Each structure stands twice: as structure tokens, then as C-alpha cells.
Chains A and B, each alone.
Chain A
Amino acid sequence: MRKLLYILLVIAVAAVTSCKQDQYYLFNDVGRVQFGPEPNRIYTTSYDLADTLKPYTFYYEDPSVVQDTIFFDIYAIGGTKDADRTFSLEQEQIPNAVNAVAGTHYVGFGDQKVNKFYVIKKGTVHTRVPIIVLRDASLKNSTPKLKFRIVANADFQLGEQNKLWRKIEITDRLSQPAQWNASFTQYYFGKYSVVKHSFLINSSGEKWDNDFITNMYAVGGLLSYYQLTMKTALINYNNAHPGAPLVDEFGEVVVFP
């Protein structure tokens, strides 16, 4: 009798759990849209959540540059169509944060300058979403965040829940490049600080932005070269300032692992 009860219990559990909705959508579902990594990374699961946050700074740009464009990759699922399909975006306010203001820090999603590009062309399933960021004077002393998400419309329903949003941190100050990620921190240059970042720029004459870091990975031996030369530069700085080693904005002595 007890055995029968156990069997019934297992069946009941199986019945309940099997009712859970699959979070993935099929290729032949209705048209849905969601963000994703660059096209060459879409089959690499470790890149599923790549590019969710893109820090951007005007710091390196000439003062004459008053706006720039940041791109995100977006994908339609559910197959192609013979007609162009539009998608819609809207800003999402982040609690307890300095949120970017449309028209001040970025061109609003309703503005024709940008939303005319919110189109998945006929016969395709991918496009790049341009976000125009504006160089407002306030960016010299603040880093507003722009979080935006996809909104369902007549052409598209929503895609996977965790791929519906993207975020940009906009500033005109030196800021942590997206490529200064956990791996870069752990294995190469340690915890990010603006002081450390400035030191690297001044010591090497390089930008230490995303492109520079990406190139360091691409050229065999270059990353090790900069590890060694920047470590040497830091030692030389500290030797030249006895008792006053380089300290970052958090009050911590700057070190390279």
C-alpha cells in the first residue's frame, strides 16, 4: 500500500512539474523580438548575456564631438517575413539611480531620428539598434544610466524574458570600459578605479578603452607586455614618491596582480 502511495506521489509531482511552461520560443512561433550578442556569438551560450551593459564615455573624444551612437544587436524569432517589421523600445526607470533623460542624455525612442531604424528588414531576422547619446555638460560630474526595454507591438511579441532589456551608462568622465570585465580584473590588471585607469593612460600613452583592450587580447603577447610594463611604471612611480604610493578614489593603494 505504501509503495502505491509513493508511486502516486511521484506521478503527481511529475504531473505538476511537467505543466511548467517552457521559457524558450520555437523558430516557427509568432514573431517575437529580443536582444542578443553579436551575430558571430549567437551560438555560444556563454555570450547569451553579453552586451547587456555598455558603458560609454565622451572622455576620449574631441570637445567638438557632441553626440555618438551606440549599437545593440536585436533578433527576430519565429521566422522571416516578406515585409519590413518595426519594433518598439521604451526607457525603464531604475530605482535609486540617476536615470538618463531623453533629449538631454540621449535621443528619445519616439524621435524619428532613431526610431526609423527600429526595423527588421523583410527576409532578415537581425538588425543593429542605434542609441544616440548626447554630450550634456552634466556628464562631466555624473554618470546617468539608460535602461531600455522592448515593447510589444503589432509586428512583434516579446522574446525571452531576460533578453528584453539593455543598459548604457553615459558619462564624460573616465569610466570602466566594458572590456575591463571580471576576467581582465582577476587575471591581468586588478580592480578598476579611475585613478588606476588614468595611470595606465598616462604611463602608456594609450586610451585603455574597449578597442585597446580588445586589441591587447588579439595580439599574442601584447597583454603580457602591458602587464609587465605597467607594473614597472607603477613601481617606478611609488619609488619616486616614497611613503606616498599611488592611491585610488576608494582610498586603496593601486596594485597590479
Chain B
Amino acid sequence: MSSCKKDQSNYDYKDHEKITVTGIESSYTLISELESLNLKPEVTSTDPNANFEYLWGIYETNVQGSVPVLDTLAKTKNLNYLIKQAAKGWVLVYRVTNKNTGYSQYINVPVNVVTEFTRGWYVAKDDGTDTDLDLFLTPTSIVPTGKRENVYSSINGSKLPGQANLLSFLTGYKSTVTGVLGNTRTLALSTDKDMATVNVNTLKKIYTLDNIMFDTPPVKGPCYTFLGSGAYYLINGGNIHSIVNNSPNIGKFGGRFLRDASNNPYQLSKYFMSNNSGNAYLYDETSSSFFAIGSGYGTALSSISDVTGTAMSATNTNQKVLFMGIKSATYLPSPALRYTFAGCAVFQDKTNPSNKTVSHVEMDLFTMKFTNTSLTSADKLYNAAHITMPFGQENILYFSIGGNQVWSRNLSNNFEKLEYTVPAGEEITFIRHKNGTEVNYAYNYIMVGSKINGTYKIRMFNKSSGSITGNPIVTLEGTGAAKDVLYISPSVSEFTHNIQW
């Protein structure tokens, strides 16, 4: 029987064919509806009798809820195609097939489709009544060369009510701006009276507080929008709502979380400690207690348990939170397989307001541990106004005092240092630290916003060993009072910046 078996062995000992394609860059960045892909590749093969056929296609990246489809652009050797795709990441595919052998060579090239709005420094500012966005254009480097003032109102017809708060960036936010429900690169602009999600490709608003929930909220603002693990959060009027981004959603925030099974009232602080890798930690000013939410799920805030050795309980602290923020996230290996957070909080005693404390805070699941250091009136931090904590950097706080001075406090040794004084007449409106690693656009800046005579300045300084070095590398100027600033580019995702005060 075995002798009857047909011999299907391959006795072709020729080398594998090699098709070589040159003349295609490793990536392209193009402005939608304006620039074209003009490609004239050279194609050769080790098969001297090669007879090629060609196919150009493109598919989108960062797709959720559907399988990316290759859209055929051309079946010619060269490509001349006006980019019409939405501003986001795409992959250009060039397939060359030798019809003689059936062998194909695929070339995949990332294509960043952008608009004039997809790269630059965005400034959230207000005129005391309403909020707008300024965009500083950065076509060649992190230092801007042009400016578009009031881009939010010029595109949407009106400013956003209220004074500006936080500016956040969400890249997994769901909307139907392209006609199909999908991830949308979205700016979340929060004010003390409203909030708006804004498609960063067009700067058209998607929702405001009037329609971003399934019902109309009884109060409007103050609003703070930020990212959690698999979730987005919105604090509105001291109550918190979530979008569980790990589950199907349409970009609308859910109902108001309960504080407990009795629906006792609560009023969340504007400060939060939240990150894409763990729980969101919140502070209720009514009960003077910390709470947490995991991944946006649930119907009630989760209570916090105390850890042995904590300097104070997380519940009924009798403290007012003057600031809190995350310093770092640490991954615990198996069997834990989760992140823990470390951060810092500045407290003021409710009974004796002259008692202030700076606290090192450790957070793991639904526990918190506080290590407190008392502040005296001799400490500059004691009188701090605007405070910020850099994420993933030195163990340090930056803060303003007296309206014009920027100080740092090394939290490892409590050393305080005057970092910068804004020119006379200017008043500091915010301090932030942000950094980015994009090639040709890398930065690691301490940012100081100030206002004078109805105009703002945002000075961005290099940081060395925790301190400001030299003069500002970037200075943004415009009308109004600036409250936050964010750098956006096609490579920036919601994980790039840790959104906090």
C-alpha cells in the first residue's frame, strides 16, 4: 500500500525569490485633504523574468470594536493619492506580486494623517466669564512659530461658559464624528460651569454638559475631567460620573455615583489621584474621607481601608485637602500583577486651620497609607497657592507663593528653594510639569502661567535635577488668563500625560 503513495516532495532547489522595493520612506505625515502621497518606488526581483502586479491600500490603526479593513487606493506601480482619511494613524500597504511565481512582497508604512489642529500647544484660558482655547503651532519643533487664538469659539460659534479648569486628552473616547462609532482623539475642556469634549482633528465640540450624560445634571460645574484605568471620570458639582471604556459605550457619562448604601451626600474635592493603571482616589470634603473607584465600575464609591503604620485614617480625617497628586506608579510582579501609586497631599486641619501637613501617600487597591510631616509657618509650602507634583520625576513639589514666586520643595529632605519670580505686576495662575519624548519634539518643562492686564504668559523652563534651569525655552502669550496647557501631536496618547493639577 505504501508503495502506491504519490511522491509530493519538492525537488525545486532554486533560492527563494527576493523582491526589493526602494523609494518608500519609513513613515509619512500628511495634512488631510491638502497633501498627497506621491510615491514612485523602484521594484526589482531575483527572478529575471518577473512580471509584477501592484496594489496600494491603506487601513486605520487604533480601531476598537471592528476589524480594520484594507481600502484599495490603486493598482498601479506608482501612487499619486490625495489623502482624504480622517486625522489619525493609518498604515499604507504596498503589495508587489510576481505573477510568474505568485510570490508577493508587502511594504507597510505608518501614515500619520493630521490637520492643522493635530499638533501644537493648547492653552485653556478664560476672560473671567467664558473659556476658550488658543493653539500655538509647532510645525518643526517644540518651540511654536505661530498662533491661532480663540480656536474653540471661532469653530464652534461661542465660548464655553465658566472659568477654565483642567485640559485633558482622551484617545479612546467614543464618538460618531466620522459617521461610525469609534475612538476619537478628544480634548476634554473643563470649566467651573461646563465641560466640552472636542474632536482634536477639527476642534468641533462633540458634547457639552448639556448632553454628555444620559440625563441633564441638576448642577452645572465645577467640572474636572480625567483619566482612570479603563475609564474616564467627570466630577461635576462635587459628584462623580464615569464612562467605563472597557465596555461598549457611546461617549456619555453614566449616573452619579452613590457615596454609600444610604445615599449620603458628598462633595468631592477638585483634587484627585488617578492614572491609567489603577484606581482613582478621591476625597470627599463633606465626610473628610478618601474613597476610590476601580475602572469606572460600580454604583457606589468604595471606602478606603487603613494600613498598619499609617499616620492617620483615610476616613473622617477632619482635614481639608489643599493639594494632592500622584508621583509614581509601580508595577508589582506576580502574584500581585497590579500597580501601586505613590503621591503627595497637603492637608489643613478643619478644627485648627493653622495646622497644616504634607503627607507622603501610598495607595494599593483600596488601602492608603499616610506618612505625615507637619508644616510650620516657616515652611514656604505652608502658604502655597498653586501646587503641582511632577509624575515619574523627582520627589518634589512646585508651588507658588505671594502670587509671583515659584518654589520647589524636595520631599525627601524638605529643602525648599526659590525657583523663579515672575516680573513685577504679573500674577501666577497655574504651575504644571509635563514632558514628552517624541523625536524632534522632546521636552521636560516646568510651566508657569501668569496674567497681567488681561493677558497671559506661560513660561516653560527646562528642568535639571528638579530645578528650573536658565531662561524659558518656550513662552506662550495671549489674551485672557491661562489655566492649563497641553502639548498634542499625532504621537501623543491619553497615556502620555498624567492629568492632574
Q: Which residues of B contact A232 (CB under 8 A)?
A: 255-256, 258, 263, 299
- The answer for the CA separation of A168 and B262 in the assembled complex, in Å, is 40
A224 touches B263 (CB 8 A): no
| Residue contacts A-B, CB under 8 angstroms, 17 given | A220-B249, A221-B214, A221-B243, A221-B254, A224-B244, A224-B247, A224-B255, A225-B254, A226-B255, A228-B256, A228-B257, A229-B215, A229-B255, A231-B299, A232-B256, A232-B263, A239-B262
- The answer for the CA separation of A101 and B187 in the assembled complex, in Å, is 62
Q: Which residues of A contact B174 (CB under 8 A)?
A: 220
How many chain A residues have a CB neighbour from B under 8 Å? 15
Whether A222 sits at the interface, judged by CB under 8 Å, is: yes
Q: Which residues of A contact B (CB under 8 A)?
A: 219-222, 224-229, 231-232, 235-236, 239
Q: Which residues of A contact B249 (CB under 8 A)?
A: 220-221
How many chain B residues have a CB neighbour from A under 8 Å? 19
B248 touches A221 (CB 8 A): yes
Whether B252 sits at the interface, judged by CB under 8 Å, is: yes
The 4 A-B pairs of least Cβ separation, nearest first, read A220-B248, A228-B255, A220-B249, A221-B249
Q: Which residues of A contact B248 (CB under 8 A)?
A: 220-221
A225 touches B262 (CB 8 A): no
B252 touches A235 (CB 8 A): no
One of A221, A229, A236 near B247 (C-beta < 8 A):
A221
A228 touches B299 (CB 8 A): yes
- The answer for the CA separation of A236 and B263 in the assembled complex, in Å, is 7
Whether B261 sits at the interface, judged by CB under 8 Å, is: yes
Q: Which residues of A contact B255 (CB under 8 A)?
A: 224-229, 232
Q: Which residues of A contact B91 (CB under 8 A)?
A: none
B254 touches A235 (CB 8 A): no
- Total residue contacts A-B, CB cutoff 8 A: 51
Q: Which residues of B contact A221 (CB under 8 A)?
A: 214, 243-244, 247-250, 252, 254
Kindly provide the distance from the CB of B35 to the nearest chain A CB, expressed in whole angstroms. 35
Q: Which residues of B contact A235 (CB under 8 A)?
A: 258, 261-263
Kindly provide the distance from the CB of B259 to the nearest chain A CB, expressed in whole angstroms. 11
Mask, B209-220, CB within 8 Å of A = 1, is 000001100000
Q: Which residues of A contact B257 (CB under 8 A)?
A: 228
- The answer for the CA separation of A225 and B249 in the assembled complex, in Å, is 11
- The answer for the CA separation of A225 and B215 in the assembled complex, in Å, is 9
- Assuming A221-B249, A228-B254, A229-B215, what are 16 further A-B pairs, CB within 8 angstroms? A219-B250, A220-B248, A221-B247, A221-B248, A221-B250, A221-B252, A222-B214, A224-B247, A224-B254, A225-B215, A228-B255, A228-B258, A229-B255, A229-B256, A239-B262, A239-B263
Q: Which residues of A contact B299 (CB under 8 A)?
A: 227-228, 231-232
- The answer for the CA separation of A14 and B262 in the assembled complex, in Å, is 65
Kindly provide the distance from the CB of B234 to the nearest chain A CB, expressed in whole angstroms. 13
- The answer for the CA separation of A43 and B156 in the assembled complex, in Å, is 48
Q: Which residues of A contact B250 (CB under 8 A)?
A: 219-221
A-contacting residues, B176-233, CB 8 Å: 214-215
- The answer for the CA separation of A154 and B262 in the assembled complex, in Å, is 66
Kindly provide the distance from the CB of A113 to the nearest chain B CB, expressed in whole angstroms. 43
Q: Which residues of A contact B254 (CB under 8 A)?
A: 221, 224-225, 228
Kindly provide the distance from the CB of A69 to the nearest chain B CB, expressed in whole angstroms. 32
B258 touches A225 (CB 8 A): no
Q: Which residues of A contact B244 (CB under 8 A)?
A: 221, 224
Kindly provide the distance from the CB of B250 to the nearest chain A CB, expressed in whole angstroms. 5
